[in-house]
Chains A and B, each alone.
Chain A
Amino acid sequence: MRVKSKKVDLAEGDLTPMIDMAFQLIAFFMVLINFAQTESNDRVKLPSSQLVKPPEAPLEFPIILHVAQDGEIILGGDDYTPETLRVGLQREIAVIRAEGKSVKDANVVIRAHKDTAAGDVQEVIRVAQEQQLENFALRVKEDRS
């Protein structure tokens, strides 16, 4: 008796369209992924304004200060209070000086939570001013509505 060969291959679907779609999706997400988001902090929800535009050139020597809702300040992953912030700022200034630049070239980027007390932000500015820093950027979200 003649035995029929098993036609397993017929049961296999054509995978080409699925792979095509999967690669397209990967390409889409890869292009849109934004690693620059490391600048942001989960504890900070920025206020919004219609007037701001994303800067064309990145700021020179940025010192990024996150101010959480409770007034706690986050600089480079460490938590500070207005009293202890001086130490953290001096560390940043030392780095800027080591690059042969003056303190006045540095830009302090303040990313404060929208519900934080305005006085806490003023305290941050006051501490930075005492360290001879004078360029401040108040970071806000662009409101396109």
Chain B
Amino acid sequence: MKIRNREEAMGTQLNMTSMIDIVFLLLIFFVMTFKIVELEGDFTVRMPLAGSDSVAMDPTDLPLKLRMRADEQGRLASISLNEIDLGTDFDQLRANVVSLIGTSTPIEGDEGPEIEIDTDYNLRYEHVIAAITAVSGYKDGNQVVKLIEKIKFAKPRR
């Protein structure tokens, strides 16, 4: 019986070159399109057009008024809540909101307190988001304590 020599066995080995080419092309594609996902979330604001509400406004249920002023470059100059000047300190704003509405009974739904944000036209948007963050709650460890959920904007100032 003839025994096959080794060289013939080598001949059955697959040619890997084309596969490796494709594999590297795929790898380069995925590396180039890779982008670390930034987690995003929303502040939900329900704002029907003013005056469309048929429900009469209860005069005792007026919204808190948050006034934000900007300098010429759009930086935050001052914030005031219900005419109380708070400088530019968002922690102080949060403390004031806590003292005004209390945290003992968080109110869900449409019954909670409301805040109206009145900002200068050229104020940078990130300061508005910082203010919304300050009034809508705070983090206690991993728990989020909610304060005001109803947020609306005053008319834009030109």
Contacts and interface: CB of A to CB of B under 8 A. Distances in A.
Nearest to A137: B42
Nearest to A16: B16
B60 interface: no
Contacts of B158: 119
Interface string A114-140: 111111111101100110101111111
A54 B39 contact: yes
Interface stretch (B45-53, B81-89, B95-103, B104-112): B45-53
Interface residues of B, number: 53
A142 B39 contact: yes
Contact of A129 (B48, B120, B122): B48
B129 A9 contact: no
Task: Give the secondary structure class of B's interface.
Answer: mixed
A19 interface: yes
B33 interface: yes
A86 interface: no
Interface of A: 5, 9, 15, 18-19, 22-23, 25-26, 29-30, 32-34, 37, 46-55, 59, 67, 109, 112-123, 125-126, 129-130, 132, 134-142, 144
9 nearest A-B pairs in the assembled complex, by CB-CB distance: A52-B41, A119-B121, A29-B30, A137-B42, A47-B126, A122-B156, A114-B126, A142-B39, A47-B129
Given A18-B20, A114-B124, A140-B129, 11 more contacts: A19-B16, A29-B30, A34-B37, A47-B125, A51-B138, A52-B40, A112-B125, A117-B125, A136-B46, A139-B40, A141-B38
13 contacts: A9-B10, A47-B125, A51-B133, A51-B144, A115-B126, A123-B156, A138-B43, A138-B129, A138-B132, A139-B40, A140-B129, A141-B38, A142-B41
